[in-house]
Structure 1
Amino acid sequence: MKFTYVLAGWEGTASDSRILKNALDRDDPLVIPQGKYYLGDAGFMLKSTVLTPYRGVRYHLKEYTRRGPQNARELFNHRHSSLRNVIERTFGVLKKRFPIIASGTEPHYELETMTEIILACCILHNFLRSVDHDDSLLAEVDNELTESEEHNVSSSQVREEDHRMGSSIRDAIADHMWRDYQNS
């Protein structure tokens, strides 16, 4: 439940995909190590380094309470959803710990100042997660969570190939998970 890369300063209406594209194209880019993947929700494009859930397949954890996963895609989505919950809980803990970043009203700061505040809060959060294992904020957040382009031909071909690679990787991971699941 720590932050590994923070790109603050975007307006709240910017799409996640646009922000990710910027993070990957910057002078100080987000580097996704070989053989590692980031989880993206359905709003992201499936890529070789960003794995999204299968569309049209059960996803939310509540959907699995009556009956467990029935195939590889459902198992993948179930585990994807579990991991995405950790991400949402991490943001919840950060906002509980530092209410200044959760408030949309007061105080108002310049964009540069707000960006620095967010970065400082993320750094302090990571430090506190390392030294203080009091999970009372985590329990509080858990309770709240349960209640509530460019279009040129060459870049298009690259995106399509990356999507195909992402699809193959996701399928291979899902099949491997399913085999392990059936054997256990």
Structure 2
Amino acid sequence: MKRVSRALNLLAPELICPPNFNHNHPRILNNTHFFPYFKDCVGAIDGTLIAASVPMSMQNAYRSRHGDISQNVMAVCDFDLMFTYVMAGWRGSANDARVFMDCLNNDQNFSWPPNGKYYLVDSTYPNFPRLLASYRQDRYHINSFRDSQF
């Protein structure tokens, strides 16, 4: 596991590249379902839980709301499904908003889009300028969008 982590750290600068905020993505521009509504969207931010192996004494902190031992990983992707930012290592009990706020407060590598551009986020994230969060009351699920052309 340590060798894999070291290898990923070495590859990260090649695989995780800062976003290009200077153009509108063709998938947005060429699709009437998305343009003009998402013309200023530059990507999406979300968190996911990944199984973790931690010492018994730390397992409660890494236990997710599902009861699994995991770590919370936040990622930013562009419309080519390329990672533009990744924050890994948070304990599984931490919620997405807490991981996000820590990135803003402590990480110099997080790329805010310029004024007028924004990231899509789910309702667990704050609705800040340059973030567009879904409504908390509505439940969205990926199966609802499986047949879309995007």
Where on the TM-score scale, by shorter chain, does this alignment land: which range? Answer: 0.3 to 0.5
Higher CA-based Rg: 1
TM-score (norm 1): 0.31
Give the number of the structure with larger relative contact order, counting CA–CA contacts within 8 Å between residues 6 or more apart.
1
**Structure number having the greater strand percentage:** 2
TM-score (norm 2): 0.37
**Structure number having the greater helix percentage:** 1
